[in-house]
Structure 1
Amino acid sequence: MKAAVFLMLLAASAMAQQVRVTLRVIEVPHPELTKWTAGEKLPGSELHERAVKLALAGGAEIVDTNVLIARSGEKALTESIAEVIYPTEWEPPDLGGAQLPLDAKQEFPPILRPSDFSFETRHAGTLLEIEPMVSEDGGFIDLRLAFEMVDLESLATWMEFRDEWGDASVKMPIFDTRRLTSAITLVPGTFELFNVFTPKPAAVPAAATRQLVFVKADVLPVSKP
């Protein structure tokens, strides 16, 4: 009986704990990252401090910062997105049972309209999903995390077309996607280097920078005033 009561009190205590997760992406020159990681094994907090100092001095860039709170053992999700709608498949027009001439079947009809296409929607922006779990003694936080950054890099003209209102060309988007799904054990209040992304600009075969993903989790006990 006492054991059951203890477990109930422990569960209630865990549910009363909230975890604030901070995820920060800092883009640094590749040589700087190589220098930081080539010698001694620096802790994540030291790497984060160096990256922030470099960004404040103008030698790096803070790309993104996300903050999200969830109760221990529960999931939370935040999105900052724009919906990008684009054509994906050409659908021939309905000719009411009529057949195209044989030579016309071998190539596209002379006029294609935007209404002849199927469209899809892609979310461009930032997505962060977390599921933290505070250990019984509060000394560690097990964090499951899914993070995604999608940028609309450019629009490529797939088919030129003009209608009575002007340019109605069909354009295809080019997306740059960085995605991370993993789990990590953190000491509360301390940044850790979780991942390194390699950006791939279209004009640069091997990017000269790296995007460092830092994550920190803080326990925020819920107490009555």
Structure 2
Amino acid sequence: MKIRPILMLGWLLGLAAATGQEAKPEAPNASKPEIATATDASAAKEGFPTLYLRLETWQAPALEVAKRLDGIKNSEDLAKLRAECLSGPPGVALVLSSAINVNTPSQVIAESVTERIYPTEYEPPSLSCPPPTEIKPGEEKPAGFDEWLEKMAGRATPTAFETRNTDTILEAEISPADGQDKTWSAKISVEDVRYLGRENFGAEELGMGMPAFSAFRTASTVRLKEGKWQILSILEPPRGLESKPSDKRWITLVRIDPQE
């Protein structure tokens, strides 16, 4: 029988192959894969300081704003104008003020919001038989009519809802400006949403009202020099429920400083 010699030969060949793999030396110049660590990531950002971003929105008379803008030629003029606003002249008020630390280069979001939920669709009330009425011209509504109407309106059931955030959201993305020392490219977005009240649709007795909101938004990409105020936007403030034009203006200023 030749089976036994064949098995013995196969066993010897397998042993030789295994021994060759174990004895194979590692190449002296073989490079090992590098693994990025948190230390490497932090080292990559060395040289970029932590920055302090500030935004202020001032309200002032529109005509006065137009006059004063003609005299603003540089950041020093703007700083003087802000100092006057801080002294509290008539008709001037600070309506928004936000600040946030930014580790460059990165994107940050800061928000202070109140979430409101409100119905957007209703199931119509089931109409019950109203009280007997026979109204002649000039007569008042019969007794019990208001109670019946209020009861009927109370049977309307909300079936769909939406949510809306109110108050302030600030977003910023800061990166170094190419070729300019102590200058930063800033992509800034600020939004302020406020709840104004309710607007009724249909008969007021039915109570089918919806909330009304105002929104102030400004977004831009600007180059900021450290320690210098800059105008981000000048806008009319949001109009109220009556949608009347305003004789005021909202001036949004922005500034960036290195954090010590």
Give the AA of the match of 1:116: P
Show the counterpart of 2:19. Answer: none
Q: Is the 8 A contact 1:148 1:177 kept in 2?
A: yes
Alignment of 1:1-225 (within 5 A): 11-14=44-47, 16-37=48-69, 39-59=70-90, 60-91=92-123, 111=153, 113=155, 115-135=157-177, 138-158=181-201, 160=204, 169-199=207-237, 200-203=239-242, 205-220=244-259
- What is the deviation of 1:220? 2.2
Q: Is the 8 A contact 1:45 1:192 kept in 2?
A: no
Q: Is the 8 A contact 2:122 2:156 kept in 1?
A: no
- What is the deviation of 1:160? 5.0
Q: Is the 8 A contact 2:124 2:157 kept in 1?
A: no
Q: Which moved more, 1:69-78 or 1:200-209?
A: 200-209
- What is the deviation of 1:208? 0.5
Counterpart Cα distance in 1 of 2:107 and 2:77 = 29
Give the AA of the match of 1:47: L
| Percent sequence identity over aligned pairs | 22
Counterpart Cα distance in 2 of 1:123 and 1:9 = 35
Counterpart Cα distance in 2 of 1:45 and 1:171 = 50
Query: For the structure 1 residues 34 and 120, does the alpha-carbon distance in structure 2 shift closer, same or farther, using more than 3 Å as the test?
Result: same
Counterpart Cα distance in 2 of 1:216 and 1:28 = 20
> What is the total number of aligned residue pairs between the two structures?
191
Q: Is the 8 A contact 1:86 1:171 kept in 2?
A: no
Show the counterpart of 1:97. Answer: none
Gaps of 5+ in 2: 1-40, 126-151
Q: What TM-score, normalized by structure 2, do the two folds share?
A: 0.64
Higher relative contact order (CA 8 A, sep 6+): 1
Gaps of 5+ in 1: 1-7, 94-109, 163-168
Query: For the structure 1 residues 79 and 188, does the alpha-carbon distance in structure 2 shift closer, same or farther, using more than 3 Å as the test?
Result: same
